[in-house]
Chains A and B, each alone.
Chain A
Amino acid sequence: MGKLQARWGILFALPAILGFLIWNLGPMIASFVISFTNWSIAGRPSFINFENYKKIFDDFVFKKSLSVTFYYAVGSVFVGLVVALFWALLLNRNIIGQALFRTAFFLPAITPAIASSMIWLWLFNPTFGLLNSILDTLGLPPLEWIYNEKQVIPSFILMSIWGVGYTITIFLAGLQGIPQHLYEAVEIDGGSWWDKFRHVTVPMISPVIFFNLVMGLIGALQAGFAQAYIMTRGGPNYASMFYSYYVYLNAFEYGKMGYSCALSTIFSFMLFGLTILVFKTSPYWVYYEALRK
């Protein structure tokens, strides 16, 4: 049986092993190699050593796009975590109509990016959009939203908070896994809801917070293509030049394959480093029940 299992095991896993080599490892190495060439979409490539990397460090748009992307990622992930946890805490109570509320919070998350970009483009419209008319009703001055250099990223963060449905669902499951007797213990000691939240809820769901943080950061750092492509074209004045959109522009609009590969190589190192950093620091703030037992 052992030998038979081994043979079937490899056969069954073969698609993924080949896929890993052909669609992941191969392209990754290729991207690294291409980043040292001046490959343009039409011409023949030749090696130019570190020329692309040198150019990148003088590239104003690269720096701008990096800061814009991190601004968006940090903002949308942190605000998103807080908002999602808030809704999950409320939904976790014994409430009537829970299914209705859950569905309402989840629907934006399954809306295709192309459609949500269209909706928000129309909501953000400075003259006829809903958001400015709400501000007007409240007696507040109108905003320019995605058409203003300073407001464009906060606007996109707002839009991302509308789509936190997946995060809410995962938080909710984590909250449902907390044993009730821990809360009762706090109650007996005369603790308030804040004590319960601080000393039971947060430590017990810290692995879930961690999971959402890591996945959220990895996702958000790569996000923004649809928004930039449909809503702002990276503007105004590069203020929404998301990294993924800048890589796309270089490769497929300017035809600079080599330069674009250098951009994405730098980006993968950063993403990789960040993930390691988050994992290394996690023992200091994530509580794993299994490890303490």
Chain B
Amino acid sequence: MELKERTSRKLENTIVYAFLFIGLIVYILPFAWLVRSSFMDISQIFIQPPEWIPKPFQWQNYPKALTAMPFFRYLINTLIILISVEFGTLLTSSTVAFSFSRLKWRGRDIFFFLILTTLMIPYTVILIPTFLLWKYLGGINTFLPLTVPAWFGGGAFNIFLLRQFFSTIPYELDEAAYLDGATPWQVLWKITVPLSKPGLITVGVFTFMGVWGDLLGPIVYLNDSSKYTLAVGLTTFMSAYTTQWNYLMAASTAIIVPPIVLYFIGQRFFVEGIVLTGLREG
């Protein structure tokens, strides 16, 4: 009886590992295909059936691809937008989340609810009138349409996420500080924010991913190629080098590396962040 149970356990484990290894290979395969193509000579890339080891190893694909377009300019543009969006998002989503979780005022819950409903609004609905507004204000072909909105609370998702983090801090800490004559501003920066680093890192990482990969915004608002971000730059690179798969894959690899590095640095925190938004209600 016991022997039978042990064998069936063993069999079960073998099946689980077999599936997981197949899964691992399937999910990694596209990355492997990407990297192997990025180091290949253009003639080797078209050999059928495909070969996996680049021979010769063309590491020069990277400098060649990345200098074929002003990618450095695009990187600087992306970073300018990124810095402004990060500051705006982190600052304003902190104050808003603090207000919604740790200060009492009339109408608070209604406003929180209203802001949450914006998660449901399709972005295309917002896009056209907002575009017309920026056109009227003369903001087309500047970074303003891509950065200014971030200073208005940083989006419902981030507010919600930070509010979840802030709610876990005992309120007695705030009370003690208020008794010592602290203002809410001081409580936010001296108590709440230092205790919510995982939450802020999560918001920071998500914001990075959003800006780094955003395609629609820059396509709509930036006309001048000197203003392009990396994502848009990559699409123009693509239409110029349609069949140079080795260069295209090298440039794609380059754009993937920063988010992956950031993921490994922030992993611990933002897995917690995803879970907090997914599992706890209000």
Contact = CB atoms under 8 A, between A and B. Distances in A.
Given A136-B49, A222-B122, A230-B235, A12 B103 contact: yes
Contact of B215 (A15, A221, A229): A229
B149 A23 contact: yes
Given A15-B96, A114-B215, A267 B278 contact: no
A275 B116 CA distance: 13
Interface stretch (A70-78, A103-111, A146-154): A103-111
20 contacts: A6-B103, A6-B106, A10-B105, A12-B103, A15-B152, A16-B96, A27-B130, A31-B126, A31-B128, A34-B129, A91-B20, A104-B27, A112-B209, A118-B249, A169-B275, A222-B122, A226-B216, A252-B220, A260-B128, A264-B122
A251 B104 contact: no
A28 B121 contact: yes
A95 interface: yes
B245 interface: yes
Contacts of A105: 23, 27
Given A10-B105, A112-B259, A166-B274, A16 B124 contact: no
Interface stretch (A60-68, A170-178, A195-203): A170-178
B99 A23 contact: no
Contacts, number: 264
A23 B29 CA distance: 41
Given A6-B106, A118-B238, A230-B238, A225 B215 contact: yes
Interface residues on B, range: 35 or more
Given A30-B133, A116-B30, A225-B216, 18 more contacts: A6-B103, A12-B99, A13-B108, A20-B114, A27-B130, A107-B263, A108-B27, A110-B260, A112-B209, A112-B213, A119-B30, A119-B33, A120-B30, A122-B34, A166-B274, A169-B274, A248-B220, A267-B124
A95 B27 contact: no
A17 B159 CA distance: 12
Contacts of A30: 129, 132-133
Interface in A2-28: 2, 4-6, 8-13, 15-20, 22-24, 26-28
Nearest to B126: A27
Contact of B125 (A18, A106, A264): A264
Nearest to B16: A90
Given A118-B234, A170-B274, A173-B275, A15 B92 contact: yes
Q: Which secondary structure dominates chain A's binding surface?
A: helix
Nearest to B254: A115
A50 interface: no
Nearest to A136: B49
Contacts of A93: 16
A125 to B, nearest CB: 8
